[in-house]
Structure 1
């Protein structure tokens, strides 16, 4: 009897493995230096973060294997348009301009931009209006870059990620940084450099983020949306949010 049970268990395990291998793979393009949403765990060398957990849960629910490919943020939409990747997952704000090039899922996060200055300059920058005419740093290709240029009236100095922009600010290479609030606050917490910076109290924007797919790819878009809605209803999304933001 035990022998039969062992054989059955082995067969079931084999079938499960075969099923997993047979599942189609979604190639996910992501800018993986964007903590706490996408980044590399220094111990495991694996991609981790809020959106990594979420796309893995969505993929599992929708019947896909997930393969994350690291790339610059400004390369994600071109990669989607050429079919190099299937999904863009990287804190991507849903904007009218981007919707002309790609399709978006239902929102996966409510984000927003803030401005940060050096602590020693806090008295001079009480509102975003004080940044007008100043040099602002931002991440390349983001809504942060657009907002930085809008409020300063000058071309922003751009960097591959928010952490690089923040270090440039600390070193005096710019007067302010405009970036996503949760990303800035995670950087300040993890780098233990909050004493050097001052976040302006006025949030500049409120933005919906989504996963992006190639325009017209209704099969993948519908599968992702269906899985996202299901995971929102069963509490999975809330659990992932609590894991990364403790609320």
Structure 2
């Protein structure tokens, strides 16, 4: 009897051991970690959440001709508004616009109060530290501006001893200071707003101005009576991009896909001609 009991116990122990080993193997093969579950859920649900909400919330500013209030319809219009609508259409939702000061755009994204920001934003290394930015949807740069008919200014070298209007604290002022550092003999006159120094240029209070190329195209279209012209091509290079909260990779990819599709189809050129020419 003792021998039979020992043999039976050994068999039971062997069976139990095999069941434990089999159970462990199955667990290792099929059960993902909690972190894996969270990552998969977040990735799968971001665009679905926007679709379920039924709207894409976009922060923007007031930067003619990219986004501005049409005086007749009282609705936001412009190149960026069209671009945002294309992205919303891709998702199958409505675009809801939040107008604000330019300085509030990035904090609004960081606080989760908007899904993206489109406001003629330069793609810069500094901004990339705070938000994720799309690929370039339009190229631009700093340009030299003069009064139409002024034959004394045809290139940067012609600015020797002349007064040049710029916006204080903006890229135009930075570009002017860099020209001085490079040896250009110019007198920088800084203003609070771009429209102020362009008006002074029109009135002859400054000899020339430095402004963003696209912004100047829009200004010239809106204020043809000012008779200001751009001198040659931009002397710096930059690109405009839209922004999303850091880590919002799925929405950013969709936005980049739309930008590429508009470029490939030629629709981006149509939009450019509509708003900037």
TM-score (norm 1): 0.73
The number of residues matched between the two structures is 223
2: CA distance, partners of 1:79 / 1:138: 28
Matches within 5 A, 1:190-201: 190-195=222-227, 197-201=228-232
The answer to which of 91-100 and 129-138 deviates more is 129-138
Q: Distance in 1 between matches of 2:168 and 2:57?
A: 23
Deviation at 1:210, TM superposition (A): 0.9
Shift of the alpha carbon at 1:104?
1.1
Q: C-alpha deviations, 1:73-114, integer Å up to 9, x for none?
A: 233233333334332212112122222222111211122221
Match of 1:151 in 2: 179
* Corresponding position: 1:217 with 2:253: no
Cα distance in 2 between the residues matched to 1:199 and 1:181: 8
Alignment gaps of 5+ in structure 1: 1-19
What is the 5 A alignment of 1:227-238?
227-238=258-269
| Matching of residue 167 in structure 1 with residue 169 in structure 2 | no
Q: Deviations over 1:47-97 (max 9, x none)?
A: 111111111111111334222222232332333333343322121121222
SS at match of 2:114: coil
Maintained 8 Å contact 2:220/2:229: no
SS of the residue 2:96 aligns to: strand
Q: Aligned equivalents of 1:184 and 1:194: distance in 2?
A: 12
Match of 1:92 in 2: 121
| 2:60 counterpart of 1:27 | no
Structure exhibiting the larger radius of gyration computed from Cα positions: 2
The 3 A distance-change label for structure 1 pair 40 and 176 is same
Report how far residue 118 of structure 1 moved: 4.1
Looking at structure 2, the residues matched to 158 and 214 of structure 1 have their Cα atoms a distance apart, in angstroms, of 32
Q: Which residue of 2 aligns with 1:80?
A: 109
Q: Is the 8 A contact 1:127 1:202 kept in 2?
A: no
Change (3 A) 1:234 1:198: closer
User: What is the alpha-carbon distance in structure 1 between the residues aligned to residue 157 and residue 109 of structure 2?
Assistant: 36
Change (3 A) 1:155 1:192: closer
- Measured on the aligned residues, the alpha-carbon RMSD in Å equals 3.1
Q: Match for residue 155 of structure 2?
A: 127
The 8 Å contact of residues 110 and 131 in structure 2, kept in 1 or not, is answered as yes
